[in-house]
């Protein structure tokens, strides 16, 4: 049966409107502040751009229709998110930036009706921001989530959470946190985690220092989060107790793919800039774009962009079909994180000294794109998981034959 890769006229119209909004409204602001969201105004700018996105009819493409969004499935998000990602500030403007986009997806699938009204609805409207708090300093949870050490213990009809998180994106200014804490077992065991919805004003919860990183486009930064006897009621449990790792998979697979969509747009912007530059710039008696070595870089960029998009479309098709898509999302994330960086790096190289200057967007794009090889699981961890699944699949027929 053939797979239909065409998009509906309604979706294509949304793509074009997103393209126009991102390039005409958002991109000039990013350029004016070299992609530094804090310098550009932080949450004040976020509110202004989201208001403009609502007026343009492009806000919340992923938000369920009953909450005022476009209700796009994963496959339909691909071209829209990519166009929004053409500017580093574009995802924020459409309310599809991490971590809010992934948190919205998780809440839509797991939250109970009261939690949806209290947390999901304002997040979908862009009234508030949120953060996802799982990562911990060593020896706690990082690439290996089973090392989770933050604990939640039952207390007075509710829970008491203590621990320390770090590299929590968007923590400064978040209205609430989805906190992963261990409710049974010990660090190193794969089960025993629970998710909790915790308002930022809860006593005992404190956002600590900003951890300065090379990327500058995330509202609220990457922060430490200190949890000192944080008391919450049973109603704060998201889903069921001890199923936190299971729920994390609901969030992480799709969130990795939306990361790919957004940063693919950023890589395309760098590539477009570089191609336009080499089409004009002359050296050694010819246009740079007529030189074989430059043409190879252009072609390799085109190949990496096309291959990334193809893997992305397939993985999203699997997710929309209801599959866990563990392999396809890991493969796509790993390839894309490296391919997108290659595109940005080649684009910088094609532009020479201009490529590393603030007069062009390329240096900031490299700065923002490089961390993707670490965020959402380092490439090495994904390769390890891909290989383990392949070996396990190869063992199953052998075991059946032996029986």
> Any idea which of 71-85, 91-105, 133-147 has the lowest mean pLDDT?
133-147
Phi and psi of 154, rounded to 5°? -65, 140
- Do 359 and 290 share a domain, yes or no? yes
From CA 334, how far away is CA 30, in angstroms rounded? 27
- Do 280 and 293 share a domain, yes or no? yes
Q: Which two tokens stand for residue 101?
A: 């986009």
Confidence of residue 198 (pLDDT cuts 50, 70, 90): very high
Q: Would you say residue 120 lies in a domain?
A: no
CATH number of the domain bearing residue 322:
1.20.140.10
Q: Would you say residue 213 lies in a domain?
A: yes
pLDDT of residue 42 exceeding 60: yes
- Do 339 and 278 share a domain, yes or no? yes
- Do 383 and 255 share a domain, yes or no? yes
Q: Whole domain around residue 266: which residue ranges?
A: 245-402
Tell me the pLDDT of the chain averaged across its residues.
95
Query: Which DSSP state fits 363?
Result: H
pLDDT of residue 256 exceeding 70: yes
pLDDT of residue 337 exceeding 70: yes
The per-residue pLDDT for range 351-393, each reduced to its tens digit, is 999 999 999 999 999 999 999 999 999 999 999 999 999 999 9
Model pLDDT, residue 287: 95
The per-residue pLDDT for range 266-291, each reduced to its tens digit, is 999 999 999 999 999 998 889 999 99
> Any idea which of 118-127, 136-145, 328-337 has the lowest mean pLDDT?
136-145
The per-residue pLDDT for range 17-36, each reduced to its tens digit, is 999 999 999 999 999 999 99
| Spatial CA neighbour of 70 closest among 95, 46, 99 | 95
CATH number of the domain bearing residue 202:
2.40.110.10
37 to 28, 33, 90, 116, 265: CA distances (angstroms) = 13, 8, 11, 29, 18
- Do 302 and 215 share a domain, yes or no? no
Confidence of residue 187 (pLDDT cuts 50, 70, 90): very high
**Contact predicate 265/90, CB 8 Å:** yes
Q: Scanning the structure block, which residue is given the tokens 């996802």?
A: 132
- Do 213 and 226 share a domain, yes or no? yes
Model pLDDT, residue 400: 62
Model pLDDT, residue 257: 97
**Contact predicate 373/348, CB 8 Å:** no
């Amino acid at each position: 049966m053939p797979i239909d890769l065409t998009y509906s006229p309604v979706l294509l119209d949304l793509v074009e409107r997103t393209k126009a909004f991102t390039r005409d409204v958002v991109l000039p602001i990013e350029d004016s502040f070299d992609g530094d969201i804090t310098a550009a105004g932080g949450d004040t700018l976020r509110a202004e751009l989201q208001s403009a996105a609502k007026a343009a009819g492009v806000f919340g493409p992923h938000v369920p229709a009953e909450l005022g969004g476009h209700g796009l499935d994963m496959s339909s998000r691909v071209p829209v998110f990519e166009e929004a990602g053409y500017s580093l500030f574009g995802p924020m403007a459409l309310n599809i930036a991490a971590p809010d986009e992934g948190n919205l997806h998780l809440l839509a699938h797991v939250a109970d009706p009261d939690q949806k009204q209290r947390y999901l609805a304002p997040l979908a409207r862009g009234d508030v921001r949120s953060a996802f708090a799982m990562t911990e300093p060593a020896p706690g949870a990082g690439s290996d989530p089973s090392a989770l050490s933050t604990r939640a213990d039952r207390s007075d009809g509710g829970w008491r959470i203590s621990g320390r998180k770090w590299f929590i994106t968007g923590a400064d200014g978040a209205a609430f946190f989805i906190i992963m804490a261990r409710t049974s077992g010990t660090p190193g065991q794969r089960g025993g985690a629970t998710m909790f919805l915790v308002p930022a004003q809860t006593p005992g919860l404190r956002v600590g220092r900003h951890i300065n990183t090379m990327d500058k486009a995330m509202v609220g930064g990457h922060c430490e989060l200190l949890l000192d006897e944080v008391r919450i009621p049973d109603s704060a449990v998201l889903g069921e107790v001890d199923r936190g790792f299971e729920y994390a998979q609901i969030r992480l697979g799709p969130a990795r793919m939306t990361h790919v969509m957004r940063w693919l747009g950023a890589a395309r912007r760098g590539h477009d800039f570089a191609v336009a530059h080499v089409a004009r710039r002359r050296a050694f008696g010819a246009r740079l774009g007529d030189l074989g070595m430059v043409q190879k870089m252009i072609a390799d960029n085109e190949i990496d962009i096309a291959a990334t998009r193809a893997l992305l479309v397939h993985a999203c098709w699997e997710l929309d079909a209801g599959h866990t898509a563990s392999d396809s999302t890991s493969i796509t994330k790993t390839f894309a994180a490296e391919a997108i960086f290659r595109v940005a790096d080649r684009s910088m190289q094609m532009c020479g000294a201009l490529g590393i200057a603030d007069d062009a967007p390329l240096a900031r794009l490299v700065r923002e794109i490089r961390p993707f090889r670490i965020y959402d699981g380092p490439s090495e961890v994904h390769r390890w998981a891909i290989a383990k699944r392949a070996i396990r699949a190869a063992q199953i027929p052998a075991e059946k034959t032996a029986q």
